[in-house]
Amino acid sequence: MNNEFDTLVFDYNGTLVDDVDLCLNLLNKMLKANNHKEVTKKDYLNIFTFPIKEYYRQAGFDFDSGKDDFAKLAYEFDKDYRAMFINCPLFDDVISCLSKFKQTKRLLVLSATKEQQLDEQLRFFKIRDYFDDIIGIKDIYANSKLQEAIDYFSTHEFNPKRTLFIGDTIHDLEVASTLNARCALVARGHQSKKRLEQANPFVVTESIEELIPLI
């Protein structure tokens, strides 16, 4: 590791916890229940985006005609995810990397998960104590985590040149870019490696461990 970055801001879903298959299964459960065609994992990685409502629309839900109710779907997904996330593992390199980074860096989590649930889930996985602070959203609709990031860093010490955002989606890059920071994208989560590379972040890797020499 070097001293270029002193603050690392981690995404949660698809970056720390391996929950892609769970999210895909819950999506297909809802699609099937509402008489829509299910999607493959390849499809999922190519359509997942923020805000979540837009990704649901690309998956096949029809909100414009009123056939499908986004608020109802969001509630159903949230309920089922909270009941089933305990079956998802952390990625293999998470504990060792957080332990190493914690020695010299300030570690944060920024997630489109409701903040109370984020705290509970980090504690379940026994990784909450690695983080100096957590930043979650205020509701279950996962529109964006940009405003939460802006609000947090406007009231906390923040040097964008020494801050690296680490996530698995283009939205992580959008947040980092808005704050004039850099972003590393890890291609093992909710978007395909091709999409991540086309977004042109600081770096695209297939694990957090690959980032160690860079940060």
Place of tokens 């999506």: 27
Question: In this prediction, what percent of the chain has a pLDDT beyond 70?
Answer: 96
**Within a 10 A sphere around the Cβ of 191, how many other Cβ atoms?**
24
The whole-number average pLDDT for the span 122-140 is: 92
What is the pLDDT, as a whole number, of residue 1? 57
Domain boundaries 7-18+90-214, CATH class: alpha beta
Instruction: Tell me the pLDDT band of 143, cut-offs 50, 70 and 90.
Output: low
State pTM to two decimals. Answer: 0.94
The alpha carbon torsion through 111, 115, 116, 118 (nearest 10 deg) reads 10
Instruction: Tell me the pLDDT band of 137, cut-offs 50, 70 and 90.
Output: confident
Closest CA to 210 of 186, 190, 189, 188: 186
Q: How far is it, in rounded angstroms, from Cα 184 to Cα 7?
A: 13
What is the pLDDT, as a whole number, of residue 2? 60
